[in-house]
Amino acid sequence: MEMVKAQINGLALDASTNSPVVILAPEESQKILPIWIGHYEAWAIGMELSGVPSKRPLTHDLLASVISSIGGKVDRIEITELKEQTFYAKIHIAKNGDEVIKVDARPSDSIALALKTKAPIFINSELLTLSPEQRESQGLPKNEESLKERLRRINPEDFGKYSL
């Protein structure tokens, strides 16, 4: 599976589902990969993007601390696949210089951890080339243009109204 380096291109609230969406975009590409996530995870990602520290450690803070405490380092995270309308990710933890431990994780937690540890984010390139039928069967808009139009209609201020 070919992985492409990506960055976070946005965080918004999908008004039609009332769900937060993190939008990943491969470097040097116009394609996007939207991942619908939970409100708490979106809040954690938003805090990291804004550079706002939490008063107490959040889950991704705790995980970063545990990894560091055992002598590891988050090397990268990968968004690997989409099955039954669920995205999957792997956290790559480097330990002792040459050992790499791969941990199954949710993309939202992985992205928050990547932001916290300044680790790069990678996407399986196949996720960027799904056919309209594959997109529809996975609950995504049928084509990228309809998705982009739907995301353009999202009011960014709406996302900021959420608090815990």
Domain CATH code at residue 112: 3.10.690.10
Does a structural domain hold residue 46? Answer: yes
- In this predicted model, what pLDDT tens digit does every residue of 109-135 receive, in sequence order? 999 999 999 999 999 999 988 656 656
pLDDT at res. 164: 30
Does a structural domain hold residue 93? Answer: yes
The answer to whether 36 and 14 have CB atoms below 8 angstroms apart is: yes
How many distinct structural domains can be found in the chain?
1
Does a structural domain hold residue 32? Answer: yes
Structural domain of residue 77, as residue ranges? 3-159
Residue 111, SS3 per DSSP: helix
pLDDT at 162 over 70: no
Measured in Å, how far apart are the chain's first and last C-alpha atoms? 38
Spatial distance between the Cα atoms of 39 and 20, rounded to a whole number of angstroms: 6
Does a structural domain hold residue 120? Answer: yes
Does a structural domain hold residue 34? Answer: yes
Does a structural domain hold residue 164? Answer: no
Single-letter residue type at 75: D
Spatial distance between the Cα atoms of 86 and 97, rounded to a whole number of angstroms: 33
The answer to whether 155 and 42 have CB atoms below 8 angstroms apart is: no
pTM score above 0.85: no
Does a structural domain hold residue 111? Answer: yes
